[in-house]
C-alpha cells in the first residue's frame, strides 16, 4: 500500500506498456494530434511512389531542370549573402566598440518584420523604369529609354538581394548568441600567440561558432526554398511557383503533389546536412571565470566604417522600404482605407487570432503530455508535430487539399446515394482547411515557446501538487498556466504574426471571394498597383515589429542576467 501521502502518485508511475499505455488519455491525445498534423506531409511524401502521369512527364521534359537550377542558385546566393552579413554584423556588435553599437544590437533584427514579398514590391516600385530612382536619373542627366544601363530588379539576382536583406537576421541572431558564449581563454590565447583581432575572429571565433552559424544558414535556406511571393512577382521559376502553376494552371493535383514531394526532399536534405554538421562539430565551452569578453575599440575612420557596415543592411532591409511604404500609404489613404480594407483587416485578424489560440491549446496539450508521459513514443510524436515549420506553405497546402478533397467527395457521394442530399465542401476550400494548414505550418513556433516555459518549472512542483491530490489537468490549470503567462503571450503573438504574413498557403486554400491583407497586397502588386498595395503591406509590417521588439527585449534581459551573474561570480 505504501504511505498515504504517496498513494496519489501511483497512477503516474505506471510502466509505459500494456493496458496502462492503451488507456492513458494524455499519451493517446499527443499521438493522435501528431498523426493528424503529419497528414499533409505524409500525403505529399507518398506521391513519390505514384506512377508518373502525362503532366508529370511533361514537367520533367520541359521545366523541372529549370526549377531545380533556379531553386539551387537562389538558395546558394541567399545563403552566402546572409552568411557574410549575419556573421559580420554579429561579430562587430559583440566584440567591437564603435558609434551606435548599442542601437545596432537590437535594430539589426528589424528586417525580420518585413516579409520578403513586401520588400520585393517596394523595391520594384522604387527601382523600376517609372520609379523615383530612374526618373530622377533621367531628369538629372537628360537620359531617355535605352541611353543608360540599370540593374533589373525583377530577376534571379533581384530575388537573391531581396531575400538576403530580410533573412540575414536569422544568422545574425544565432551567431551573436554563439559569440557571446565564446571562451574568453581561447580568444586571449589566440591573441597571445600572435593573432590580431581579425585573425582571432577567423581562426578561433568563427570555427567555435560554426554549429550556431550552420543552424542559422539552414533556417535561411528553408525560408528561401519556401518563398513564393518574391519569386512569383519577379518571374523566377522555382518549385513553389511550379507547384502553384501545376495545380491552378494545369489542374493536375497529382503532378503538383509530385513536385511538392521533390521540394520536400530538398528541405529534408537541408535538415539532414544541418544535423550532420552540428553532430560532427565538437566544440566545448571553456569557462571564462566571469570575465567579460575582450573587445576591440574601433576609433576614427574604422569606427565609422563599422557603423556603416551595420547601418547598410538595416537601411536597405527595413528603413527604406518602411519609409517608402508609409509615404505611399499617406498618398493613397483616401482610397485605401475603405470598407473593403476593413473587411480585409477583420478577415486577417480572425484567421490569425483563431489560429494563434488553437495553436496555443494544441501546443499546451502536447508539451504537457510530454512532460507527464515522457517516453520515446511521445517524444517522437512531438518532434513529428513540429516538423511542419520546415515545410513550405505550398507543400502543406497541397498536402491539405488532397485528403480533404477526397474526404469531401466521399462524404458527398455517400450522402447523395443514401439521403439524396449534397453536402458540398465541408473542409477543402473553407476557412477550416486554411486554419488547419496554418496549424501544421506554425505549431512549432508555439510548441517551442511553451516547452521552454515548462522547462523552467521544476518537476518538484508537479510532484508536490500530485501529493496534495490534484489531477494532472488541475495542476496544469492551477500551477502551470499562472507561471506560463509570459510564454503563452509570446507564443500567441508569434503565431499571430506568422499567420498574417503567410501568402502561398492562403492563396491556394482560401475560400472563394475571401481575402486577407497578404493576399490583397499580392493581388494589387500583380496588377502593378504598387502604391495601392502599400496600405495592406505596411499593416503587416507594423504587426511584425511587435514580436521582433519582444525578441530584442528578451535577448537584452538574458544578457543583463549573464552580466550580473558574472559580476557576482567575481565578488
Q: Which residue has the higher pLDDT, 195 or 511?
A: 511
pLDDT given at position 12? 42
In CATH, the number for domain 18-49+333-530 is 1.10.3720.10
**Tens of pLDDT, residues 51-105:** 778 888 989 999 999 999 999 999 999 999 999 999 999 989 988 889 998 899 8
**Tens of pLDDT, residues 12-34:** 444 444 444 445 788 888 899 99
The band of 195, judged by pLDDT with boundaries at 50, 70 and 90, is low
Task: Using the predicted structure, report yes or no on whether residue 10 has a pLDDT greater than 80.
Answer: no
**Tens of pLDDT, residues 269-297:** 888 877 776 665 554 444 444 455 567 78
Helix residue spans in 9-115 (DSSP H):
18-23, 25-46, 54-62, 64-95, 101-107
Kindly provide the residue ranges of all beta strands, DSSP E only, lying in 243-307, ordered along the sequence: 296-297
Q: Looking up cell 551573436, which residue turns up?
A: 176
Q: Give kind and range of the element (H or E) at residue 368.
A: helix 339-372
Of 150-154, 155-159, 187-191, 260-264, the least confident:
187-191
22: burial class by Cβ within 10 Å (0-12, 13-18, 19+)?
exposed
- 214-232 exposure pattern, b = at least 16 Cβ within 10 A, e = fewer: bbbbbbbbbbbbbbbbbbb
Question: In the chain, where does the domain assigned CATH 1.10.3720.10 lie?
Answer: 18-49+333-530, 67-238+298-328+540-571
Of 70-79, 137-146, 175-184, 484-493, the least confident:
175-184
pLDDT given at position 196? 61
**Tens of pLDDT, residues 346-400:** 999 999 999 999 999 999 898 888 888 777 888 888 888 888 888 888 899 989 9
Assess contact for 172 and 85: CB atoms under 8 A: yes
pLDDT given at position 198? 63
> 296-297 and 96-97: which strand pairing?
parallel
- Mean predicted confidence (pLDDT) in 147-159: 90
Rounded CA-CA distance 22/25 in Å is: 8
Assess contact for 88 and 202: CB atoms under 8 A: no
pLDDT given at position 419? 84
pLDDT given at position 121? 93
pTM of the model: 0.83
**Tens of pLDDT, residues 428-468:** 888 999 999 999 999 988 888 888 788 777 777 777 877 87
pLDDT given at position 285? 47
C-alpha Rg value of the chain to the nearest Å: 26
Closest CA relative to residue 78, chosen from 240, 269, 177, 216: 216
Rounded CA-CA distance 6/469 in Å is: 10
Q: Is the CATH number 2.40.37.10 carried by domain 67-238+298-328+540-571? A: no
Cα distances from 389 to residues 15, 255, 439, in angstroms, run 33, 23, 10
Q: Which residue has the higher pLDDT, 51 or 189?
A: 51
pLDDT given at position 199? 62
pLDDT given at position 189? 60
Percent of the chain scored above 70 by pLDDT? 85
Its sign, for the CA torsion 47, 50, 52, 54, is: negative
pLDDT given at position 448? 83
Question: Please, which residues have CB within 8 angstroms of residue 39's CB and are 6 or more apart in sequence?
Answer: 399, 403
pLDDT given at position 13? 44
Rounded CA-CA distance 157/410 in Å is: 46
Amino acid at each position: 500500500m505504501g504511505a498515504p501521502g504517496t498513494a496519489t502518485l501511483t497512477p503516474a508511475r505506471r510502466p509505459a506498456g500494456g493496458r496502462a499505455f492503451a488507456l492513458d488519455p494524455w499519451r493517446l491525445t499527443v499521438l493522435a494530434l501528431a498523426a493528424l498534423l503529419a497528414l499533409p506531409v505524409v500525403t505529399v511524401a507518398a506521391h513519390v511512389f505514384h506512377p508518373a502521369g502525362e503532366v508529370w512527364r511533361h514537367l520533367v521534359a520541359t521545366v523541372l531542370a529549370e526549377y531545380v537550377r533556379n531553386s539551387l542558385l537562389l538558395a546558394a546566393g541567399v545563403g552566402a549573402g546572409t552568411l557574410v552579413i549575419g556573421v559580420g554584423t554579429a561579430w562587430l556588435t559583440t566584440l567591437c566598440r564603435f558609434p551606435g553599437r548599442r542601437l545596432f544590437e537590437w535594430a539589426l533584427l528589424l528586417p525580420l518584420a518585413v516579409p520578403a514579398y513586401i520588400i520585393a514590391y517596394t523595391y520594384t516600385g522604387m527601382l523600376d523604369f517609372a520609379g523615383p530612382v530612374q526618373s530622377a536619373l533621367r531628369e538629372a542627366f537628360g537620359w531617355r529609354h535605352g541611353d543608360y544601363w540599370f540593374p533589373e530588379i525583377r530577376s534571379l539576382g533581384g530575388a537573391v538581394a531581396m531575400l538576403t536583406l530580410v533573412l540575414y537576421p536569422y544568422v545574425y541572431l544565432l551567431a551573436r548568441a554563439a559569440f557571446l558564449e565564446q571562451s574568453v581563454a581561447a580568444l586571449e590565447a589566440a591573441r597571445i600567440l600572435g593573432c590580431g583581432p581579425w585573425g582571432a575572429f577567423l581562426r578561433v571565433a568563427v570555427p567555435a561558432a560554426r554549429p550556431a552559424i550552420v543552424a542559422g544558414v539552414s533556417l535561411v535556406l528553408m525560408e528561401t526554398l519556401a518563398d513564393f511571393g518574391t519569386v512569383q512577382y519577379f518571374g523566377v521559376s522555382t518549385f513553389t511557383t511550379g507547384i502553384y502553376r501545376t495545380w491552378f494552371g494545369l489542374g493536375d493535383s497529382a503532378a503538383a503533389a509530385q513536385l511538392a514531394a521533390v521540394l520536400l526532399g530538398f528541405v529534408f536534405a537541408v535538415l539532414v546536412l544541418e544535423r550532420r554538421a552540428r553532430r560532427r562539430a565538437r566544440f566545448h565551452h571553456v569557462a571564462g571565470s566571469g570575465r567579460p569578453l575582450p573587445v576591440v575599440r574601433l576609433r576614427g575612420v574604422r569606427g565609422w566604417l563599422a557603423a556603416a557596415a551595420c547601418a547598410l543592411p538595416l537601411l536597405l532591409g527595413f528603413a527604406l522600404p518602411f519609409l517608402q511604404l508609409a509615404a505611399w500609404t499617406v498618398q493613397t489613404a483616401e482610397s485605401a482605407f475603405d470598407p473593403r480594407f476593413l473587411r480585409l483587416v477583420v478577415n486577417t485578424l480572425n484567421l490569425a487570432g483563431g489560429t494563434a489560440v488553437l495553436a496555443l491549446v494544441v501546443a499546451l496539450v502536447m508539451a504537457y503530455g510530454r512532460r507527464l508521459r515522457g517516453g520515446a513514443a511521445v517524444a517522437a510524436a512531438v518532434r513529428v508535430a513540429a516538423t511542419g515549420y520546415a515545410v513550405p506553405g505550398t507543400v502543406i497546402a497541397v498536402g491539405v487539399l488532397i485528403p480533404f478533397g477526397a474526404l469531401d467527395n466521399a462524404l458527398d457521394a455517400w450522402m447523395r446515394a443514401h439521403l439524396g442530399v449534397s453536402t458540398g465542401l465541408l473542409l477543402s476550400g473553407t476557412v477550416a482547411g486554411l486554419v488547419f494548414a496554418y496549424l501544421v505550418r506554425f505549431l512549432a513556433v508555439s510548441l517551442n515557446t511553451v516547452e521552454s516555459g515548462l522547462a523552467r518549472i521544476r518537476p518538484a512542483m508537479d510532484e508536490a501538487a500530485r501529493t496534495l491530490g490534484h489531477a494532472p489537468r488541475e495542476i496544469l490549470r492551477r500551477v502551470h498556466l499562472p507561471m506560463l503567462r509570459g510564454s503563452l503571450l509570446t507564443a500567441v503573438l508569434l503565431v499571430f504574426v506568422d499567420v498574417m504574413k503567410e501568402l502561398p498557403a492562403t492563396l491556394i486554400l482560401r475560400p472563394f471571394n475571401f481575402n486577407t491583407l497578404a493576399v490583397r497586397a499580392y493581388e494589387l502588386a500583380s496588377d502593378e498597383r504598387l502604391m495601392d498595395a502599400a496600405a495592406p503591406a505596411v499593416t503587416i509590417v507594423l504587426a511584425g515589429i511587435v514580436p521582433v521588439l519582444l525578441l530584442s527585449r528578451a535577448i537584452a534581459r538574458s544578457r543583463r542576467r549573464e552580466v550580473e551573474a558574472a559580476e557576482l561570480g567575481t565578488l
